[in-house]
């Protein structure tokens, strides 16, 4: 018996959101919400190293080596599942709430060259976050506005739009020298991404737009992704 196709589920109209991804927290929203990352690899790193050392000490082709290999593989699978679960929950929630979302086009490969942050960046899975958000937003009729990777979202005052050049990565709170506004670095960046997303809708109407700071991505979901995501996450 054929079942009628269910009507498309649209995003709730909670306005526009900017999402700033980071290392200390997975995502900071322009609403002020902070979503901590699970950091599964970091949390289980000690056990991961112990099992890896144990595997290397086992005799080749022995039964004990096979047991150690399976135990290490299960731990890697657990880390992957924890990370995937957190990303799916976050991206599903964002796509459900906001019809327009502003994010950054992060140069993940370049960021991974920083040996001090490479493990933390890999643990957050920035690329996978964007991939999931794009297809889930498209499924709900939403839109993703992607800021150019050179857009200074963190160094731009979200109140007066003045640019602060000397702002180190470790500076989490700063005050605008032009208007005196006090900013949380991540929240300020998220608000700038939100404003850029709003300006993309103005540009689409033929009025003054965001210029070269924005490239808008609307990525239609494949049928396989759509069926899987609706069945699993609603």
The one catalytic residue among 2, 12, 20, 123: 20
Q: Which residue has the higher pLDDT, 234 or 109?
A: 109
Q: What is the pLDDT of residues 10-67, one digit of tens each?
A: 666 778 999 999 888 889 999 999 998 888 778 888 898 999 999 999 999 899 999 9
Q: What pLDDT score was predicted for residue 221?
A: 44
- With H, G, I as helix, E, B as strand and everything else as coil, classify residue 2: coil
In a domain, 2, yes or no: no
Query: For the chain, how many structural domains are there in total?
Result: 1
104 is catalytic: yes
User: Is residue 190 in some structural domain?
Assistant: yes
Residue 221 lies inside a defined structural domain of this protein: yes
Catalytic position from the list 66, 93, 148, 186: 186
Range of the domain at 199: 16-36+99-233
Active site (annotated) includes residue 186: yes
Could you say which of 2, 33, 66, 104 is catalytic? 104
Q: Which pTM does this prediction carry?
A: 0.75
Judge whether 75 lies within some domain: no
Q: What is the pLDDT of residue 29?
A: 96
Residue 73 has pLDDT above 70, yes or no: yes
**What whole-number distance in Å separates Cα of residue 228 and Cα of residue 12?**
21
Do the domain assignments include residue 41? Answer: no
What is the percentage of the chain residues whose pLDDT exceeds 90? 47
pLDDT band for 95, please (50, 70, 90 cuts): very high
Among 27-41, 82-96, 216-230, the range with the most confident prediction by mean pLDDT is: 82-96
- 85 as an active site residue: the answer is no
User: pLDDT tens-digit profile of 100-154?
Assistant: 999 998 877 777 677 776 777 777 788 889 999 999 999 999 999 999 888 989 8
In a domain, 3, yes or no: no
Is 126 domain-assigned? yes
For the chain, counts of helices (H) and of strands (E): 8, 8
Residue 204 vs residue 125, higher pLDDT: 125
d(CA 21, CA 178): 26
Question: Element (H or E) spanning 111, and its range?
Answer: helix 108-111
On whether residue 31 sits in a domain, the answer given is: yes
Could you give the angle at which helices 63-97 and 45-57 cross, rounded to 10 degrees? Answer: 150
Angle, in degrees to the nearest 10, between helices 223-233 and 126-139 = 90
């Amino acid at each position: 018996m054929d079942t009628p196709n269910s009507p498309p589920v649209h995003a709730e109209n909670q306005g526009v959101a900017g999402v700033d991804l980071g290392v200390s927290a997975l995502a900071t929203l322009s609403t002020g919400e902070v979503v901590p990352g699970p950091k599964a690899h970091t949390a289980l790193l000690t056990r991961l190293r112990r099992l890896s050392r144990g595997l290397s000490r086992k005799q080749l082709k022995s039964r004990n080596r096979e047991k150690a290999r399976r135990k290490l593989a299960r731990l890697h699978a657990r880390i992957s599942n924890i990370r995937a679960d957190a990303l799916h929950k976050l991206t599903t929630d964002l796509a459900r709430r906001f019809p327009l979302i502003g994010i950054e086009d992060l140069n993940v490969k370049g960021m991974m060259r920083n040996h001090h942050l490479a493990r933390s960046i890999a643990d957050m899975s920035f690329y996978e976050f964007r991939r999931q958000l794009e297809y889930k937003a498209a499924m709900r009729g939403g839109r993703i506005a992607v800021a150019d990777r050179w857009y200074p979202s963190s160094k731009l005052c979200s109140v007066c739009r003045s640019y602060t050049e000397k702002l180190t990565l470790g500076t989490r709170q700063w005050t605008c020298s032009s208007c005196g506004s006090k900013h949380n670095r991540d929240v300020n960046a998220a608000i700038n991404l939100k404003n850029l997303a709003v300006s993309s809708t103005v540009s689409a109407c033929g009025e003054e737009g965001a210029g070269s700071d924005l490239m808008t991505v609307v990525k239609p979901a494949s049928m396989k992704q759509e069926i899987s995501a609706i069945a699993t996450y609603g």
